[in-house]
Structure 1
């Protein structure tokens, strides 16, 4: 099942997990959009540097530390995703509370592990 995913904190650097997760999501036939600080393309996915009003986002997968996430709380909520994945190092109880108040699911998990074990 295709789950349109926003990679928040996308990087052009091939040694970054956010870069690798874009590759894996594309390989698993998920629609992918990405936001990062530098424009570029990873596996055919354009990394946007503007916060666009994406439609039909199923999952937001985070690659920003908790302090950097604060600037994106309202944006993520505005997208009304079904879930937000907090990858290792991004866990954030303040953001969990905001998501819960807005009836948005969340989990502390590794997107790469979820994909590799068919649990995505």
Structure 2
């Protein structure tokens, strides 16, 4: 498997970018776990509605606006990911500073574009 990725803000709605990202991550051979507000399954990945103590998370890709991210700052830092991807619309300068202080890399990028261009 590839880089274990946690999708935060996952949705079962097929028109959501988080849904498409899960599908594309799975198709590219990445190990994927997902957290969202509603239970469901996308491309064989169960969406958890309770925060889990996932281990060995390489990348967290965010699909939550900055205000909604605040509730997850401590949780995300506790998982010690190698990087956090801020997809378009999720940019959050306050969270960037928290990640920097905890030696967690971040990038403002689109997960779908990174996967499409083999830069993931």
**For residue 13 of structure 1, what is the aligned residue in structure 2?**
13
CA displacement, residues 10-69 of structure 1 (integer Å, 9 cap, x when unaligned) = 001000000000000000000000000000000000000000000000000000000000
Q: Mind listing any 5+ residue stretches in structure 2 that lack a counterpart?
A: none
CA RMSD of aligned residues (A): 0.6
Q: Mind listing any 5+ residue stretches in structure 1 that lack a counterpart?
A: none
With structure 2 as the length reference, what TM-score do the two structures score?
A: 0.99
How many residue pairs end up in the alignment? 120
In structure 1, C-alpha distance between the alignment counterparts of 2:119 and 2:90, rounded to whole Å = 20
With structure 1 as the length reference, what TM-score do the two structures score?
A: 0.99
The SS at the match of 2:81 is: coil
**For residue 106 of structure 1, what is the aligned residue in structure 2?**
106
**For residue 73 of structure 2, what is the aligned residue in structure 1?**
73
In structure 1, C-alpha distance between the alignment counterparts of 2:21 and 2:91, rounded to whole Å = 18
In structure 2, C-alpha distance between the alignment counterparts of 1:13 and 1:72, rounded to whole Å = 22
The SS at the match of 2:30 is: coil
